[in-house]
Amino acid sequence: MASNLNKPSFSTTLLAGKVALVTGAGSQLGIGRSTCLALMAAGAAAVYATDLNSGNFESLQKAAAAINSECRVEGRVLDVTSEEETLKLITEITREHGRFDLYFPNAGYVDVKNINDVTSVQIDDKPSSSGAIVVTASVGGMNGKYADMPYCTAKAAAIGMVRSACIQLSKSNIRINAIAPGFVATSLLSSSAYAQKGEKVSQAGTEEQAKADFFGYRKAQGMSEDYRYYFERVAMPEEMANISVFLASDLASSINGQTIAADSGMTEGALAHECLGGIPEVLPLEITLN
């Protein structure tokens, strides 16, 4: 797992004055929540966190106060599958602040299905876009081994949408990119139960319990928490948030229409054991100092 790798080091003025909307930000441990906190650390003026679950908004606001007390943090219940609800909130934000700069469509759920259980609902993916956009996709959209067909299909569609949207939005000077996380320790497994049904709930949880559930599930599936090679590691949500904030900022002004695989090299290293028969450490150079 990550240690100091997940600590943001952005300038506190990097996103000064920016107004952001993050969907899927209601869990106690997740990419959406971590993105909100990273946006605050980078100096955003307002961050709207949305989710079907409102139970963790209070703890998010408490965490925000310790990071950036000047940032306005709003928690809103939102069903992202409802175009009416989404447009209503975007309109409210724009009227309230006179601007709407950053959009992070991150909401989702996990429900593994085999091909015989698939319906058209699981494949339908209707993204909306406005402002500087960073989409949460998945390496599942790049490689079919990571999840079931509906999930991989939806994420592949999101990646394709990003490639096309960067052209369609260019006249409006809007950039759009995506991150494709690999294995990340989140509470997605527990939140998927109500998210799949579209139920609006208020269930608070702790980060510690979410981690215990996540790694407990991995252990039950025969996956170890330890790793031999870097590409086998499990990332933390903060690491994805750091990439998202970078892509949303002017530091990434020339990056558009791209999907960044954030899987620690897992996709590239998938066949490393079979093809290479083990990977040795790099030997240190012997340097003589005169």
**Using CB atoms within 10 A of its CB, is residue 165 exposed (0-12), middle (13-18) or buried (19+)?**
buried
Query: What is 9-276's CATH number, 3.40.50.1000, 3.40.50.720, 3.40.50.2300, 3.40.50.300?
Result: 3.40.50.720
Tens of pLDDT, residue by residue over 212-263, are 888 887 777 777 777 888 998 999 999 999 999 999 999 999 999 999 999 9
Question: What are the Cα distances from residue 104, in Å, to 203, 237, 258?
Answer: 23, 14, 15
The pLDDT > 70 percentage for the chain reads 82
- State the pTM of this model: 0.82
Q: What pLDDT shows up at residue 40? A: 96
Sheet of 132-136, strand order: 72-77, 46-51, 19-22, 102-104, 132-136, 176-181, 259-262
Whole-number Å distance between alpha carbons of 239 and 4: 10
pLDDT in tens, the chain (290 residues): 444 545 556 899 999 999 999 999 999 999 999 999 999 999 999 999 999 999 999 999 999 999 999 999 999 999 998 999 999 999 999 999 999 999 999 986 545 444 344 444 444 444 444 468 999 999 999 998 888 888 899 999 999 999 999 999 998 899 999 999 999 988 776 665 656 666 777 878 888 888 888 888 777 777 777 788 899 899 999 999 999 999 999 999 999 999 999 999 998 887 666 666 677 888 888 888 77
Q: What pLDDT shows up at residue 125? A: 45
Tens of pLDDT, residue by residue over 53-87, are 999 999 999 999 999 999 999 999 999 989 999 99
Contacts of 71 (CB under 8 A, 6+ apart): 39, 40, 43, 44, 45, 46, 47, 64
Instruction: Answer yes or no: are the C-beta atoms of 85 and 77 closer than 8 Å.
Output: no
Q: What pLDDT shows up at residue 196? A: 62
With b for 16 or more beta-carbon neighbours within 10 A and e for fewer, the 31-57 pattern comes to bbbbbbbbbbbbbbbbbbbbbbbbbbb
